[in-house]
Structure 1
Amino acid sequence: MTGMHAAASFRLAYVPGVTPGKWARTWGERVPAVPLELIAASTADAVTALHDGAADAALLRLPIDRSGLSAIPLYTETSVVVIPKDHEVAAVDEVTVGDLADYVCLRPLDDCLGWETPPGLPANERPATTADAIELVAAGVGLLVVPQSLARLHHRKDLTYRPVTDAPQSRVALSWLEEQTTDLMEQFIGIVRGRTVNSSRGRPAAPAAAQAKPKANASGNARKSTAGGKPGSGAARSAGRSKPRRRG
């Protein structure tokens, strides 16, 4: 493994909507000698950065091509439909995919929900990005189903969103090259998994000899006091009284 002292920084790529701030703060507290460098990227660019060595780890959305990569799913995002505030769908608390059947639903080229059957009526063209699709929703061209974090990222005062209860959901995962599970990588895995600084992976275990020493001393003292007591002595009689006698 590469030691933690060997790296000038730990480079973390992250995709839109994912907020690594809380983990970055914890990293700064636990590994102050190694700066955490945050790199904003699309999912495709984040995977490329891992393979090219431009990033040590990435927070991205599954599915991805897992060739040569390790990945730990962290959480699942709620899917929502983005709508104008005055749209009739805004009158309800949640919808299903079937409820969107009569509306034009935009599907950008960077869609991350992996639809088998896209919802609603197809638009004439697919927007290049989610940001472009949001602009079209605001213009009244159609609706858009995305992870809730992306709806929040592209928040506009004239738009709102509602949960889509049966839509596909995206999973955010931590990914890195299998062959690059370094000490720093283990540190970051522990942080995103919520391990405390005093967990078994957060600090070295005490040597086995040191752990066994107090037990050996206690055992030795017990043997000494028992062996040192002569038959009929106070120590022997006390030991005899403390042991209950079996009944036949």
Structure 2
Amino acid sequence: MTPTDASRFRVGFVTGATPDKWARAWRDRSRTPLDLVPVTEDEQAGALNELDMVIVRLPIDRDDVHRVRLYDELPVAVFAADHYLAAADELTTADLADEQLVRPHPSGWRPTADQLDWPPMDEKDAIETVAAGTGVVIVPMSVARLHHRKDTAYRVVTDLDPTTVALVWRIDRDDDDTQAFVGITRGRTANTSR
């Protein structure tokens, strides 16, 4: 990523987020060119040093930002398509108590079964691992859909909290373009005033 270019408006978005509808509205209303920049969850906080705004998954460890909640994502367990869990319509953490998590869940929840030490891996690698029939990974539904494979299945885990997706920007970057993009994400039309 390069430092913010004043002639362009740069919005990062975390894996699985879909900023397209907001980008279309921006392009219809603004003369400032918009760049959408993909970032990982690990990069999202630091990306705010280089981008104008970032669509993130909360929590984000920064005090120098404004936050606007956009939506919540349901947590899903992803596993091999032939896994017995695929027979259920939805799951609870009790259903996953004997499973191996190939990637820790951000909430800190762990199955009761002894867990193996897995190397760190991103969402795509974790889903590839579970596709081979080794363990389960819990991710937001949008991530499961993004990396869906024919050899995997996923089900909502009903007793885990959803993940919140939010739009964040630095407090010192609160200008007209920033407020215009916030307005678009909040559903304001071109004729709506704040």
- Report the TM-score when normalising by structure 1: 0.72
Does the 8 Å CA contact 1:105/1:144 hold for their aligned counterparts?
A: yes
Q: CA deviation at 1:124?
A: 2.8
The percentage of counterpart residues that share the same residue type is 45
Deviation at 1:120, TM superposition (A): 5.2
Q: What count of residue pairs does the alignment treat as equivalent? A: 189
Contact 1:12–1:36 at 8 Å: present in 2 too?
A: yes
Q: 1:76 aligns with which of 72, 76, 79?
A: 72
The aligned counterpart of 1:34 is: 32
CA drift at 1:16: 0.4
Superposed counterparts of 1:32-181, under 5 Å: 33-51=31-49, 54-107=50-103, 114-119=106-111, 121=113, 122-181=115-174
The TM-score normalised by the length of structure 2 is: 0.92
Higher strand share: 2
- C-alpha distance in 2, partners of 1:128/1:79? 18
Query: How far off is 1:66 after superposition?
Result: 2.6
Q: Which residue identity does 2:56 align to in structure 1? A: L
Alignment partners' CA distance in 2, 1:99 and 1:28: 46
Shift of 1:114: 2.3
Q: How much has 1:86 moved relative to structure 2?
A: 1.3
**In structure 2, distance between residues paired with 1:44 and 1:106:** 17
Q: Select the structure of larger CA radius of gyration.
A: 1
Tell me: CA distance 1:75–1:119, structure 2 relative to 1, closer, same or farther (3 Å).
farther
Whether contact under 8 Å (2:15, 2:40) holds in the other structure is: yes
Aligned to 2:23: 24
C-alpha contact 1:11 1:39 (8 A) present in aligned 2? yes
Q: Which has the higher contact order (CA 8 A, sep 6+)?
A: 2
**Any idea what the Cα deviations from partners look like across 1:43-97, whole Å, max 9, x if unmatched?**
332321212xx20000010001132111111111001110211111111100100
Query: Aligned partner of 1:158: which letter?
Result: D
- In structure 2, the residue matched to 1:14 is 13
Q: Deviations over 1:190-209 (max 9, x none)?
A: 000011111123xxxxxxxx
Please give the secondary structure, in 2, of the residue aligned with 1:24: helix
User: Does the CA contact (< 8 Å) of 2:66 and 2:171 recur in 1?
Assistant: yes
Distance 1:124 1:84 in 2: 20
Higher helix share: 1
Structure 1, unaligned stretches of length 5 or more? Answer: 1-5, 202-248
- Contact 2:81–2:131 (Cα < 8 Å) also in 1: no
* Matched-pair contact (CA < 8 Å) for 1:82–1:145: yes
8 Å contact kept, 1:114–1:168: no
Structure 1 segments, 4+ long, off by >6 Å, are none
